[in-house]
A and B are shown apart, each in its own frame.
Chain A
Amino acid sequence: ADVEESSKPLFAGLSDISISEDIPVEGDISVPIGSQNADNDLSTLDEPVKDTIMRDLRAVGQKFVHVMYPKKSSALLRDWDLWGPLLLCVTLALMLQGGSADSEEDGRPQFAEVFVIIWFGSVIITLNSKLLGGTISFFQSLCVLGYCILPLTVAMIVCRIVLLGSSGGISFAVRLIVVTASFGWSTFASTAFLADSQPANRKALVVYPVFLFYFVIGWMILTFSPSR
């Protein structure tokens, strides 16, 4: 204001400028020590590759633990990542896939079919819950649904081991129990994370597609038949 009132030449009164007291000027003007900031950026570039990879792997592993023991923790939701779901989906699809049309493995889902079912299924369930008025974000929901496939992947590994032994009635009963238990575990784990974000009178509408999703994956695992 002082500068505007004067009719002196430009910049002449610059040294006289004082900020009047009724303009609140607060804050902390401090120049961050240059090297400190640069160090933060450079530090992840300079660290050994092992550290970088282990950090992500540890995050993924921590989330696996959260899925296996589902408590009301927000770790899965807060720091979502899609590495875990990708890893699980690829593992499951590789183990489930069938061969070409002529081979003995005909009739099994192809790799692409499993992949598409898992990812498109998760996207559709997420869209469904958002359309019904859920407050969870898109990627958080994808993250939860993907991570909760872990029990079913474990069941797949167990089924494959059981099938190495025999493929008769007893092995079927064992596989049925294992797959049913892990399907229940997956559904329970994902609803523990997802149910809170839904309005109360629509919870069942959101839980049912999740149930159907894991049921279909469970069926694919259960009907996996070994090639002769």
Chain B
Amino acid sequence: MASPDDLKFQEFEEATDLLSSNPGASTLSISSPGTGASPGDVRLDLSDDEENQQENSELLGGEKQTGGFWTFEYYQSFFNVDTVQVLDRIKGSVIPLPGRNFVRHHIRSNPDLYGPFWICVTLVFSVAIMGNLSTFLSKRGDPDFHYRPQFHRVSIAAVTVFLYAWLVPLGVWGFLTWRQSVERQISGYTFLETVCVYGYSLFIYIPTSILWAIPFNWMQWLLIVVAMVISGSVLVITFWPTVRDDTKLTAFATMAVIVSLHALLAIGFKMYFFQTATYTGSSHPAQHITPASNHTSSTVG
């Protein structure tokens, strides 16, 4: 066995794929490059059995030994990421490759809450600000129009985004854990990993919301389709391995629900915040976009 001095963090590209395809293999796992000096951060697991490894990764983020949930160190363990890692995870969420499971490849038992939280906050403000801008651009020619900042939209966007980013992963994780206990499947994900995947998958909506300010209806719908394809495939690639051993019906139903909820979020944003229809007051979320009102967008120079 190597002495602790010889152990260095090494990147193994294929190891994650090998592990997910052959869970029975004996593994050596070293988690998290030792950036912090606190004793809980660097975990050396020399166990040879898969069960122990499984158990460790199924604990909440695998960091339970850093203290109870009332200590500061417990929460600090969820922010144990560097700039490079965050950027790498964001890149992984916008470039879905069929072989690369987001959780196994990018998160690697180090789920963080930094990414999901700040991506959600940024999304809230970008949707509200860009929506306000697009309303302004589409109504500029109207002489009766008096510009208003519509600040209450920020509150609505915040509630929507944060509910989505926390309740939907809770539901998905709960469902998958229940199926796992019923069907004895390979592995599920921890709650934090699910939240992490969902948080990073929302990143694509930030540039989408910026581009939504361009007041052409067909472009907005095209952007929705593109964003849905990219972000939806990240989610599908991530969750497919956990349901593929289930009955066909359950597997496809789960995938369909995940993708459609994601689509609903995008479409809801587009319809509420980025109306190219006639501005009839923002207190009614369910607006019907009349086709004839698309011509008002042509008044924008």
Contact = CB atoms under 8 A, between A and B. Distances in A.
A109 B83 contact: no
Given A108-B149, A212-B122, A212-B125, A205 B36 contact: no
A131 B75 contact: yes
Contact of B148 (A106, A113, A128, A133): A106
B86 A205 contact: yes
A225 B147 contact: yes
A13 interface: no
B114 interface: yes
B194 interface: no
A84 B154 CA distance: 27
Interface residues of B, number: 28
Interface string A130-141: 111100000000
Query: Is chain B's binding surface mostly helix, strand, loop or mixed?
Result: helix
Contacts of B82: 201-202, 205
Nearest to A105: B148
Given A201-B83, A201-B84, A216-B125, A225 B118 contact: no
A94 to B, nearest CB: 16
Contacts of A223: 132, 147, 149
Interface in A185-224: 199, 201-205, 208-209, 212, 215-216, 219-220, 223-224
A61 interface: no
Contact of A212 (B121, B146, B148, B152): B121
A208 B149 contact: no
A204 B83 CA distance: 6
Contacts of A78: none
A85 interface: no
B129 interface: yes
A209 B114 CA distance: 11
B118 A209 contact: yes
Nearest to B75: A131
Contacts of B36: 133
Contacts of B132: 223
A172 to B, nearest CB: 10
Contacts of A130: 72
Interface of B: 35-36, 72, 75-76, 78-79, 81-84, 86, 114, 118, 121-122, 125, 129, 132, 146-152, 154-155
